[in-house]
Structure 1
Amino acid sequence: MTAEVVIMNKLGMSLAADSAITSGREGVQKVYNSANKLFSLSSNHPVGIMVYGAASFMEVPWDVIIKSYRDYLKDRKFDDLNYYVDDFLDFLRQDERFKNKEVEEIIVYRTFSDILKRIVREVEDDIKTEKDNGSDVTDETVTSWLTECVSRHISTYREKEDMYLHLEYEEFKERFTDVIQEIKNDLISFELPQYLEENLFELAFEATRKDYFSIGSTGIVFTGFGEREIFPHLLNYRLEGFVSGQLKFKKIKEKKISYTNDKDDGTAEVTAFAQREMVDSFISGIEPNMEDAIFGIIDKVLTGYDEQIQKHLGIEFTDDQVKAMKNMGNDIYTSIEDAVEEYQQKNYIEPLLGIVRSLPKEDLAEMAEALINLTSFKRRVTRATESVGPPIDVAVITKGDGFVWIKRKNYVDPVINARF
């Protein structure tokens, strides 16, 4: 895993990334603290790149890809950071070294495998519940649950408007039949009816072409300045890879520093990527999982409030009264949510950004490093795998000085490698 952060104000931006990379499968994992996740585009461009998620794209390491793009870009410059991203994506599309039919099968495999594992876990939970209640579970019952679950997922993807790949179903099915059958045989141990087999192909097809990005996809962050941009700019994309010669990617977020606080993202911004829980806690005053748990409890209490009243007070409500109480519960939930958000903005987020907008470049770098160290320390003192770890690479990008390393690990000894 990874922890990365970008901090921006009008003076420039600081970037920090850890060096941990996890190798192996679940249960047999090893962590190495030598990965490069933060890159300078070149000495001629005030642009930095960070990657998180998968360490490679189409089985090619990102280190190799980004340095190859430097040679492709050369001295060309663009007015806006968006044009750098567009040019980079065109570079990926045009370079045949990043297109491989065998790797395309891997992309379909990991996409469908992710989804089918989730479906199988859901059905296994249903089986366990039924058995705990003393009921027998037959293959026909399991098939029915699988059918319902698969159909629900297909409908979910079909309802999504965004289309990331333009594929033909019959061609997709013919090409990736072996891949999909392999996943099905690995995860489902009994024979399925023909209609459910067909549904699985449809599910793989819809997930591949629609808005689903697997755990093997990569997040990529472009930061810096176009030639006509005076304030920092950040773009975050998700890249899955090529399928049938088409590149699957989507834009996640865009952040811009502006002249005043009421335009774009204001005059200061702190953005974290990948393992961001400690950064979010620092910014908003509460750990995100704790916040979700609290609001989950509140929602559960308010949803069943009418039942508790009827149970403890012996009052029978009409259907209209039950509906009115549920509506009231929704209104109360929204009011609590709005009040908490307003409190966070007033007492945590706005005061912090007020300080960030006036920080000099050196302090921006120190703050970015400290936030990654905080995440690393949290992983070290918990039972979770230490998937965030030092050394931490830190850089600052300004309009005048361009990309400047503040801290950088290097496998090269400069004493015996003078050319570096």
Structure 2
Amino acid sequence: MTSEVVLMNRQAVAMAADSAVTISGHQYVKTYQSVDKLFPLVEGQPVAVMIYNNAEIMSTPWETVISLYREQARGRPLDTLEAYAEDFMAFLSGNPDLFPPDHQDTEFFKHVAVVFTVVAEDFDYQVRKFSESNAGRLRDHLSSIFEFVVNELYADYQRYPDDSPRADLACFPSGMAEQVRRRYRGEIEQLVDSLIATLRGDYQGLSVSEGTRERLREIAVLSVVKDAFFEHYTGVVFAGFGARDKFPAMRSYLTSSVVLGILKRKQDRAADMTSDGGPVVQPFAQDRMIRTFLTGMDQYLRMYLFGETLKLSMHLVTDVIGRTPGLSDAQRQALFRDYSENNLGYALREFFKSIDHYQYAAHTRPIYRAIASLPKRELGETAASLIKLNSFQQKVMHAIETVGGPIDVAVITRNGGLEMKRDKPDL
């Protein structure tokens, strides 16, 4: 993993990234602290790019791909930061020399194999849960457990967590799903057969219906075209100035594989400084300590407090209603239902709204005010310090240090251009 951040005010933009990378395999985890994740995008132009989550695209190092783009760009200026980002994405998509069709075929196979690995791992987990529950003979339930796992992943590709329909990615043309289905029918069938054969080797008695096999085939297609990145993906963050940009801007994308000549991608965040807008603080990847610093409260602690406050309130309401004399059971239930659905919900919302207001006034607003007026040097130092917070937390905890090493910092201004340096990792 990694930790990265973008800070912007009206004068400059600062980007910072650690240099740690974690390589894991069967029964081993190794961390190195010498990886570059932050690069100039176009020679002589005030634009930089940084990557997180995956150091390669299509089995090719991102550093190599960015270098090739920089060579073909030849210092060409573009009007906006977004134009730079989209031009880079077009370079990845429409470039058969970089990713030939046979290479794309191989990477599609790997892409679906990773998705099916998710199925296998979840199946193993559900089998362990069932075994621990002592709910019956495992052999009699293997098929229904597998069907449940496949249906759950299929549903995840169909709907967002809030249960709204999951959209197709805008980067693909209409009919892309059918193109993938036709082009890779044989490869998908081979992967489905391989997944089932592997699981049957581990779990004797597993049978898979044709309906479940069809769901697996559809999952392979949906994993390409849907707005979901359950496979290995890379976050790509651009920041700086276009030729016509008065103030700095930032764009970030999630990217995966090139399929049938098109890069699977989506723009997930965008920020533009304006003459009357506040500063921008955008952390990426491992950002827990940065967000804690900005808000004054750990986000997981906040969720825990909400849950515990809800339980305490429910217990108090139950106790008070239970002790109230002269009420029938029906009246008690109606009173509890009315209070829990209306009064209690409103009270909790107001309580945490008050906490949010205090957090913003006492912690976030003073920090944002400072960032808004920082000169470029101090802006870069602040960005580096935020990364060091994440690194320091992991250093003092009993955990693998997936954030660490020297901090690469890029500071970009319209007049001064791009300045890069490497900062020491210690606070």
TM class by shorter chain equals: 0.7 to 0.9
Deviation at 1:42, TM superposition (A): 3.2
**What secondary structure, in the 3-state scheme, does the structure 2 residue paired with 1:394 have?**
strand
Residue number among 167, 170, 192 corresponding to 1:180 in the alignment: 192
1:412 corresponds in structure 2 to none
Deviations 1:79-111 (A, max 9, x none): 111111111111001222224111111112213
Residue 240 of structure 1, CA deviation: 0.9
Question: Aligned partners of 1:191, 1:246: CA distance in 2, in Å?
Answer: 37
Displacement after TM superposition at 1:310 (Å): 6.8
**Equivalent of 1:271, from 282, 295, 320?**
282
In the aligned structure 2, how far is the partner of 1:259 from the partner of 1:94?
37
- Specify every segment of 5 or more residues in structure 2 that has no aligned partner in the other structure, as ranges: 160-164
> 1:7: how far off?
1.2
| CA displacement 1:238-271 (0-9 Å, x = unmatched) | 00112343321111111111111xxxxx231221
State the distance in 1 between where 2:416 and 2:395 align.
36
The match for 2:162 is none
CA deviations 1:143-182 (Å, max 9, x no partner) are 3344344334423422434212521275354332222333
**Partner of residue 351 from structure 1, selected from 336, 341, 366:** 366
**In 2: Cα distance, 1:72 partner to 1:215 partner:** 30
Q: Would the alpha carbon gap of residues 385 and 90 (structure 1) be closer, same or farther in structure 2, given more than 3 Å must change?
A: same
Counterpart CA distance in 2 for 1:204 and 1:351 is 48
Q: Identity rate of aligned residues, in percent? A: 28
1:47-196 equivalent positions in 2, closer than 5 A: 47-96=47-96, 97-99=98-100, 100=103, 101-118=105-122, 120-122=124-126, 124-128=128-132, 130-131=133-134, 135-159=135-159, 160-164=165-169, 165=172, 166-168=176-178, 170-171=181-182, 172-187=184-199, 189=203, 190-196=206-212
How far apart are residue 283 of structure 1 and its match? 0.5
Distance 1:207 1:22, change over 3 A: same
State the alpha-carbon separation in 2 of the partners of residues 51 and 16 from structure 1. 11
Q: Secondary structure at the match of 1:45?
A: coil
User: What is the Cα deviation at residue 302 of structure 1?
Assistant: 5.2
1:415 maps to none
In structure 2, give the amino acid aligned to 1:162.
A
Partner letter of residue 90 of structure 1? A
| Mapping 1:355-374, distance limit 5 Å | 355-374=370-389
How big is the shift at 1:376? Answer: 1.0
1:318-357 → structure 2 map (5 Å cutoff): 320-328=334-342, 329-357=344-372
**1:291 corresponds to which residue?**
302
Between the aligned partners of 2:193 and 2:59, the Cα distance in structure 1 is 23
Letter in 1 for 2:99: F
Give the Å deviation of 1:229.
0.7
- 2:232 aligns with 216
Q: By how many angstroms is 1:356 displaced?
A: 0.8
Work out whether residues 123 and 145 of structure 2, in 8 Å CA contact, stay in contact via their aligned partners in 1.
no
Q: Which residue of structure 2 lines up, in the alignment, with residue 18 of structure 1?
A: 18
CA distance in 2, matches of 1:143, 1:50: 44
| Aligned-partner Cα distance in 2 for 1:110–1:271 | 29
C-alpha RMSD of matched pairs (Å): 2.6
Aligned counterparts of 2:417 and 2:128: Cα–Cα separation in 1:
54
What per-residue deviation string (whole Å, max 9, x for no partner) do you get for residues 201-252 of structure 1?
Answer: 3333333321221352000000000111111101010001123433211111
Q: Specify the SS of the correspondent of 1:383.
A: coil
Cα distance, 1:336 vs structure 2: 2.9
Corresponding pairs, count: 400
What's the CA shift for 1:33? 1.0
Secondary structure of 2:232 counterpart: coil
Distance 1:394 1:26 in 2: 34
**Cα distance change of structure 1 residues 369 and 98 upon mapping to structure 2, 3 Å threshold:** same
**Superposed CA offset, 1:125-144 (max 9, x none):** 3442x32xxx3244343433
Corresponding position of 1:380: 395
CA contact (8 A) 1:237 1:253 kept: yes
> What runs of 5+ residues in structure 1 fail to find an aligned partner?
261-265, 410-420
Residue from 230, 244, 247 that aligns with 1:228:
244
Q: CA deviation at 1:301?
A: 4.7
- Is the 2:19–2:36 contact (alpha carbons within 8 Å) kept by the matching residues of 1? yes
Q: In the alignment, residue 51 of structure 1 is paired with which amino acid?
A: I
Task: Report whether the alignment pairs 1:251 with 2:267.
Answer: yes
- Report the CA distance between 1:304 and its aligned residue: 6.9
Query: Distance in 2 between the 1:157 and 1:208 partners?
Result: 10
Q: Secondary structure at the match of 1:167?
A: helix
SS at match of 1:364: helix
Taking structure 1 as reference, are residues 309 and 102 closer, same or farther at Cα in structure 2, changes over 3 Å only?
Answer: farther
- Report 1:25-44 matches (<5 A): 25=25, 27-44=27-44
Q: Which amino acid aligns with 1:38?
A: L
TM-score, length basis structure 2: 0.85
Q: 1:391 aligns with which of 383, 399, 406?
A: 406
Q: TM-score, normalised by structure 1?
A: 0.87
> Quick one: which amino acid aligns to residue 167 of structure 1?
A
Residue 418 of structure 2 aligns with which residue? 403
Range that drifts further, 400-409 or 243-252 = 400-409
On the 8 A contact 1:180/1:204 being kept in 2, the answer is no
Displacement after TM superposition at 1:76 (Å): 1.9
My pick for the range that moved more, 240-249 or 48-57, is 240-249
Structure 2 residue aligned with 1:242:
258
Task: Verify the 8 A CA contact 2:3 2:403 in the aligned structure 1.
Answer: yes
